Amino acid sequence: MLFFFRFVFWARVLVAFGLQLSTSSFAIDFRHMIEPDAKISKACTGCHGPEDRSTTFGYFPRLTGKPEVYLYNQLLNFQHGTRIYPQMSFLLENVNTDYLHQLAHFFAMQNTSYPPPTKYKGNKEQLEMGRKMVTQGEPLLNIPACTECHGFMLTGGVSSSIPGLLGLPRDYLVAQLGAWRTNHRQAQEPDCMAEVAKKLSLDQISAVTAWISSQPWPKDGHQTATQNRVKANLLPVRCGSVPSTSLSTLTIPDLNTPRLTDLQRKGQYLTRIGNCQSCHTAQAGLLMAGGRAIETPFGRVYSTNLTPDFETGIGSWSGDDFWRALHEGRSKDGSYLLPAFPYPELTQVNRSDSDAMFGYLQTLTPQKKDAIPNTLKWPYNTQLGLGIWRALYFKPDDYKTDPLQTKLWNRGAYLVTGLMHCGSCHTPRNFLGSSLKDAAFAGGYLLANGPWYAPSLRMRQQAGVQGWSIPQIVNLLQNGITQHGYVSGPMAEVVYKGAQYLSADDAQAIAVFLQSVKGSSTDDLVKASDMKDKRPGREAGKAIYEKHCESCHGKEGVGLPNHYPSLVDNRNVVSIYFNNLVQLVLLGAIPPTTASNPTPLGMPPYRAILSDQEVAQVLTFIRSEWGNHASPISTLDVLQTAGKVRSISRDLPGGRW
């Protein structure tokens, strides 16, 4: 009796060919905003604001006026997990480096007013200790003076990637030094700040932060910040975050392998659209080297190494071995693979495509990376348990062409049901995790960044595109956006890492197939009595909407086509499956960057701005305005969706794991 959820394998990956709601950030107040950077910065200023700000969730640092290279490096660190703040990583994971460059440049060019210094109420001896540490360092501990790197006036670093320190509140400075000491903040090796912070005593940290936060911003601070640039090799300590070029770059997985044969180029394309790298590349990890954690209801599974390393990867595998893994779900030694590897769907991939994919994977640079042990519970971690599950639910199969359908339709069906395994998320499962074949594409819950819901591709009220035009569907697949809204959550990763690379013919084939997916007349929209004026909390919800949402979605909720979705008659807004709606408001969203949509407009995470009750109030208001007639959302609904309280099972497709 076993299950190792394939849908979980794409748990962070596939949500919805349906459209996702994007709520707006509040209006921005900078004086010298320019296009297009001003618009894309809204996803940032919702939390950071025009100036530094503290909330119940902590301190959001100043962005304006900081060095461009420093800001860019920090955005890269968040994206790759070397600076740990999950919310930032989530927002930035599906945007490219050009987008990060634009954000960094925009904020670096803004004028900013600095807050007055904090009046220090402690003893003078501690303040003097701080002054000496900042201006003289501690030679006995090999700690350089702060001024040697951050500028003699602390208003700008001696390198363009080092920020100034003045104008920052003491609690923020303490928190940053603490993060360096505990490895919650990291940088490229050698990590000089981590070395310095770990040498400082708590008394020294207290003294240094007290003195810096008590110093006023000098009148010529901006001018001096640009006068002391030095080469990286002249710094007092070696620092991996100080590049020799104008913009630093972290190791970024690159899919462009030179000198490929036609077969290998075909395999590269197939692994892209099949989204193999999403699961087989860990955050900040090397391409296809595995190690990404996949949460399942039965424990944690780690993806494996697909590079041609002979000891830890598939360097010793043959094309037959790889085909058997896809087609039969067996490893080279014949053992059963976990269905977290989606062989129940990939079994339909034909042999020629399998050989092409294997050929491409063999061109990757071998990476020695040992497999991380899975943490599955018994009996899910046994071959016997896997054997029983396979006997019940799995049989190797080939895609069978439907002679009654066109060649284009059959190509789309092959991709959707096989290589791209869309049903892994969009099909509900039984209590052992097997897909319910009779309910293919009827939708199901996911376990990715909280309980997302992959809407039904059969129902027009959810994610069905039976009434859409071919160009609309193709645009959604390749760019993640239409005039109605954009993809977000796990589906954004599908578009960013996979679907955007679809050829025009394959995108059209998928669109043709999706149009034909058997529809349903089931109405999943909860109709509520039209008594919105009498609903508790409506006025509060309206006030929240006017403050935080109206600047983008408009007073009448109509939004801006291809940028901010309309909230009027939006099926994601009024659906009974409101998980995605709540998640988007809590977590925020930046749509994936694609060739045709390189600077998408996003929204901030409102969990850092609104309470759970306020989230419920504004969503209830949106679901009952402008002709919308959906049921209210309670604070308990928000808490359950956010995972703050245990979810109550619902009688809905896919259940609630």
Assign residue 130 the CATH number of its domain.
1.10.760.10
- 108-117, 259-268, 494-503, 508-517: range with lowest mean pLDDT: 108-117
Same domain, 268 and 364: yes
468-487: pLDDT as tens digits? 999 999 999 999 987 777 88
Q: How far is CA 12 from CA 113, 349, 483, 619, in A?
A: 40, 23, 25, 24
- 30-34, 178-182, 387-391, 572-576: range with lowest mean pLDDT: 30-34
- Number of residues assigned to the chain: 657
Distance (Å, whole) CA 43 – CA 77 = 18
Distance (Å, whole) CA 486 – CA 550 = 18
Distance (Å, whole) CA 411 – CA 569 = 33
Amino acid at 639: L
Of 296, 117, 137, residue with least CA distance to 214: 117
Which are the contacts of 214, defined by CB distance < 8 A and separation ≥ 6? 117, 118, 119, 120, 127
Higher pLDDT, 251 or 504: 504
Distance (Å, whole) CA 604 – CA 48 = 9
Return the pLDDT at 92. Answer: 93
Helix (H, G, I), strand (E, B) or coil at 233: helix
Confidence of residue 64 (pLDDT cuts 50, 70, 90): confident
User: Phi/psi zone of residue 184: left (φ > 0), alpha (ψ -120 to 50 degrees), beta?
Assistant: alpha
- Domains: count for the chain: 2
Distance (Å, whole) CA 23 – CA 21 = 6
What is the crossing angle of helices 504-516 and 407-414, to 10°? 90
Q: Which two tokens stand for residue 418?
A: 């096989």
In the DSSP assignment, the letter for residue 58 is E
Verdict on whether the full-model pTM lies above 0.85:
no
Return the pLDDT at 34. Answer: 38
Which are the contacts of 24, defined by CB distance < 8 A and separation ≥ 6? 42, 548, 549, 550, 551, 552, 553, 564, 603
Return the pLDDT at 449. Answer: 46
Same domain, 331 and 269: yes
Confidence of residue 2 (pLDDT cuts 50, 70, 90): very low
- Check pLDDT > 80 for residue 80: yes
Among 352, 372, 393, which residue terminates a domain?
A: 393
Strand partners, 437: none
Same domain, 141 and 268: no
Same domain, 265 and 388: yes
Amino acid at 505: D
Instruction: Characterize 519-534 residue by residue with b for buried, 16 or more Cβ atoms within 10 angstroms of its Cβ, and e for exposed.
Output: ebeeebbeebeeebee
Return the pLDDT at 412. Answer: 97
Helix (H, G, I), strand (E, B) or coil at 525: strand
Return the pLDDT at 268. Answer: 96
Helix (H, G, I), strand (E, B) or coil at 41: coil
Same domain, 285 and 336: yes
What is the rounded average pLDDT of the residues 345-358?
97
The verdict on residue 583 lying in a domain is no
For the chain, give the percent of residues with pLDDT over 90.
47
Return the pLDDT at 36. Answer: 56
- 247-256, 363-372, 477-486, 573-582: range with lowest mean pLDDT: 247-256
Return the pLDDT at 57. Answer: 61
Of 74, 107, 67, 108, residue with least CA distance to 89: 74
Asked if 114 contacts 52 with a C-beta cutoff of 8 angstroms, the reply is no
The verdict on residue 319 lying in a domain is yes
Distance (Å, whole) CA 499 – CA 401 = 23
The verdict on residue 321 lying in a domain is yes
How many CB atoms are closer than 10 A to CB 262? 9
Distance (Å, whole) CA 177 – CA 184 = 10
Confidence of residue 451 (pLDDT cuts 50, 70, 90): confident
- Check pLDDT > 70 for residue 289: yes
Q: Which residue has the tokens 């006997």?
A: 391
Asked if 62 contacts 142 with a C-beta cutoff of 8 angstroms, the reply is no
Higher pLDDT, 443 or 9: 443
Among 361, 378, 393, which residue terminates a domain?
A: 393
Distance (Å, whole) CA 377 – CA 300 = 9
Distance (Å, whole) CA 365 – CA 286 = 9
The CA angle 613-11-60, to the nearest 5 degrees, is: 45
Higher pLDDT, 223 or 474: 474
3-state SS string for 323-384: HHHHHHCECCCCCECCCCCCHHHHCCCCHHHHHHHHHHHCCCCCCCCCCCCCEECCCCCCHH
Q: Which two tokens stand for residue 232?
A: 């990286």
Q: What's the CA dihedral at 268, 272, 278, 283 to 10 degrees?
A: 60
Determine whether 207 is exposed, middle or buried from the number of CB atoms within 10 Å of its CB (0-12, 13-18, 19+). buried
- 156-165, 210-219, 245-254: range with lowest mean pLDDT: 245-254
The verdict on residue 128 lying in a domain is yes
Distance (Å, whole) CA 79 – CA 91 = 8
Return the pLDDT at 272. Answer: 96
Same domain, 260 and 212: no
* Domain span holding position 312: 256-393
Strand partners, 290: 281
- Check pLDDT > 60 for residue 26: no
The verdict on residue 228 lying in a domain is no
Same domain, 260 and 342: yes
Which phi and psi angles does 575 have, rounded to 5°? -75, 155
The CA angle 213-214-217, to the nearest 5 degrees, is: 85
Same domain, 374 and 275: yes
List the beta strands (DSSP E) in 487-604. none
Asked if 581 contacts 619 with a C-beta cutoff of 8 angstroms, the reply is yes
The verdict on residue 366 lying in a domain is yes
Same domain, 260 and 385: yes
The CA angle 579-580-586, to the nearest 5 degrees, is: 90
Strand partners, 454: 444
Which phi and psi angles does 412 have, rounded to 5°? -65, -40
Among 347, 371, 393, which residue terminates a domain?
A: 393
Return the pLDDT at 247. Answer: 54
How many CB atoms are closer than 10 A to CB 371? 13
Strand partners, 279: none
The verdict on residue 358 lying in a domain is yes
Per DSSP, helices labelled H in 109-191 are 124-136, 147-150, 170-181
What is the rounded average pLDDT of the residues 238-261?
60
Of these ranges, 156-160, 314-318, 423-427, 593-597, the one predicted with the greatest mean pLDDT is 314-318
List the beta strands (DSSP E) in 227-269. none
Q: Which two tokens stand for residue 556?
A: 């009448």
Return the pLDDT at 233. Answer: 54
Distance (Å, whole) CA 587 – CA 6 = 25
Of these ranges, 161-165, 353-357, 455-459, 606-610, the one predicted with the greatest mean pLDDT is 353-357
- Check pLDDT > 80 for residue 392: yes
Same domain, 211 and 263: no
The CA angle 432-436-438, to the nearest 5 degrees, is: 155
Higher pLDDT, 614 or 248: 614
- 166-170, 322-326, 507-511, 547-551: range with lowest mean pLDDT: 166-170
Same domain, 184 and 264: no
- Check pLDDT > 80 for residue 620: yes
Confidence of residue 32 (pLDDT cuts 50, 70, 90): very low
In the DSSP assignment, the letter for residue 60 is E
Distance (Å, whole) CA 294 – CA 94 = 18
Amino acid at 500: Q
Return the pLDDT at 56. Answer: 60
The verdict on residue 272 lying in a domain is yes
Asked if 587 contacts 88 with a C-beta cutoff of 8 angstroms, the reply is no
Return the pLDDT at 535. Answer: 60
Asked if 589 contacts 603 with a C-beta cutoff of 8 angstroms, the reply is yes
Same domain, 207 and 323: no
Return the pLDDT at 221. Answer: 54
Return the pLDDT at 258. Answer: 58
Higher pLDDT, 4 or 67: 67
For the chain, give the percent of residues with pLDDT over 70.
83
- Check pLDDT > 60 for residue 246: no
Q: Which two tokens stand for residue 94?
A: 């599906």
Confidence of residue 645 (pLDDT cuts 50, 70, 90): low
- Check pLDDT > 60 for residue 521: no
Which phi and psi angles does 274 have, rounded to 5°? -80, -5
Strand partners, 525: 575
Confidence of residue 488 (pLDDT cuts 50, 70, 90): confident
Q: What's the CA dihedral at 564, 567, 568, 570 to 10 degrees?
A: 100
Higher pLDDT, 149 or 157: 149
Higher pLDDT, 653 or 132: 132
Query: How much of the chain is in helix, strand and coil states, percent to nearest 5?
Result: 40, 5, 55
What is the rounded average pLDDT of the residues 524-546?
66
Return the pLDDT at 54. Answer: 62
What is the rounded average pLDDT of the residues 268-283?
94
